[in-house]
Amino acid sequence: MPLLVMKFGGTSVATLDRIRRAAKRVGVEVANGYDVIVIVSAMSGKTNELVGWVRETSPMFDAREYDAVVSSGEQVTAGLMALTLQEMDVPARSWQGWQVPVKTTSAHSAARIEDILTENINGKFAEGMRVAVVAGFQGVSPEGRTTTLGRGGSDTTAVAFAAAFGAERCDIYTDVDGVYTTDPRISSKARKLDKIAFEEMLELASLGAKVLQTRSVELAMRYKVKLRVLSSFDEQTDTSGTLVCDEEEIMESNVVSGVAYSRDEAKMTLISVADRPGIAAAIFGPLSEAGVNVDMIVQNISEEGRTDMTFSCPTEDVLRAENAMATAKAGGHINYHDLVADTDVAKVSVVGIGMRSHAGVAAKMFGALNSEGINIKVITTSEIKISVLIDRKYMELAVQALHDVFELHKSP
């Protein structure tokens, strides 16, 4: 029988009523002739409660115990969802990570899936089970302990199951009805995309469009899993939501598909660094070791053997970055005059696979920002993305201006 993976996030299973609503959707697909693997998150708020207890008990907690505690949330939803389906006369049972098993690394609280054994679940499908309800976000380590994949990991579970079981599609039910050209809270002209390419989604996900977890998109791209993002609160039609797919499947698209932003960025500038071969490694090695997530890097033109080095990172990493640089300076590994942190910046990006074949996107972007009097502090580009760092107060304005200039409100 053809197989679907359906994933329901925390808000979609927040109450027994919502679980029932989700189960009804699963029932429709079963009636359509599909076997279904349902991946569930914890009831919304539950994971935060459990994490809160762990942190209060032990600020520097043992991640193995954290996983033992936190994984219980998905376990509860999985059981309740299986019971709900049974009440609808759909043969279903729940599975925890260790029962499937979902084999992961031992990196507790941030484990990676290494293998999903399909034998147990396929055996039950062969016996007549129509729905396997799997607790998302969890697996089992080589040592036989429960692991979790990190926050948002249920998306990754869903895509990994779709890949392992060769599912026809992986439907991600969430509280938004798809992927938009930009955040509708910032631009009222934001338009839902019917389709988006994996590469674009990946850029959007990592740029702060919180619809899908980055790792799940990477995985879907690698294994060519068709992903659909749709709302569990809407009536569904065949064109509901947004299909994330291979770019070959997208016939028509705008040059730019979306405008993303990230508010929590900081711009760090090392002033008057003694320039020499290997200086970049001497700076960014210690930052990486300190866990600083460096994003953009710009090196100014060197004069008289000294240069300014600018990089961006999440606001929460600023303190760690300052400490790492101070330590490296004290150790004589680097030499700089000053380190200036500007935490009043935001990142705005335009993303689109169409950029590959269209020149002039950057010029158009910079022109639009200039018309609004917005000063660009740092620029980085990739094949399908241009990002700029600007003053945070201009962020909304920049997003709106770029959405307009690339005419994203119009369908391609």
Task: Tell me the binding residues for substrate.
Answer: 47, 74
Residue numbers in the known binding site are 7-10, 47, 74, 174-175, 180, 185, 210-211
* Residue 257 binds a second copy (CB under 8 A): no
Q: Where are the beta strands (DSSP E) in 112-197?
A: 113-116, 131-135, 138-140, 146-148, 169-174, 195-197
Q: Which of 80, 164, 209, 279 lies at the binding interface for a second copy (CB under 8 A)?
A: 80
Do residues 103 and 116 lie in contact, with contact meaning Cβ atoms separated by under 8 Å?
yes
* Residue 87 binds a second copy (CB under 8 A): yes
* Residue 365 binds a second copy (CB under 8 A): no
Q: Which of 21, 107, 122, 145 lies at the binding interface for a second copy (CB under 8 A)?
A: 145
* Residue 96 binds a second copy (CB under 8 A): yes
Q: Which of 21, 44, 48, 79 lies at the binding interface for a second copy (CB under 8 A)?
A: 79
Cβ proximity to a second copy: between 140 and 219 the closer is 140
Q: What is the token pair recorded at 71?
A: 């994984």
- Strand ranges of the sheet holding 131-135, from the earlier edge strand across to the other edge: 92-95, 131-135, 35-40, 3-8, 169-174, 227-231, 242-245, 195-197
Residues in contact with a second copy, shown as a per-residue x/- string from 24 to 63 under the rule CB under 8 A: --------------------------x--xx-xxx--xx-
Cβ proximity to a second copy: between 146 and 240 the closer is 146
**Cα three-residue angle 292-293-297, rounded to 5 degrees:** 105
Cβ proximity to a second copy: between 82 and 325 the closer is 82
Q: Which of 13, 36, 37, 78 lies at the binding interface for a second copy (CB under 8 A)?
A: 78
Tally of CB atoms within 10 A around 298:
16
**What is the rounded CA–CA span in Å between residue 241 and residue 231?**
7
Q: What is the token pair recorded at 60?
A: 């520097």
* Residue 16 binds a second copy (CB under 8 A): yes
Residue numbers in the known binding site for ATP are 7-10, 174-175, 180, 185, 210-211
Q: How far is the CB of 174 from a second copy (least distance, A)?
A: 22
- φ/ψ region of 178 (left if φ > 0, alpha if ψ in -120 to 50, else beta) reads left
**What is the rounded CA–CA span in Å between residue 172 and residue 158?**
8
- Could you tell me which of 189, 243, 187, 184 has the C-alpha nearest to residue 212? 243
* Residue 60 CB partners (closer than 8 Å, separation 6+): none
Q: How many amino acids of this chain bind a second copy (CB under 8 A)?
A: 36
Q: How far is the CB of 149 from a second copy (least distance, A)?
A: 17
Name the DSSP letter for residue 30. Answer: H
Residues in contact with a second copy by CB under 8 A are 16, 19, 50, 53-54, 56-58, 61-62, 64-66, 68-69, 71-73, 75-76, 78-80, 82-84, 86-87, 93-94, 96, 98-99, 144-146
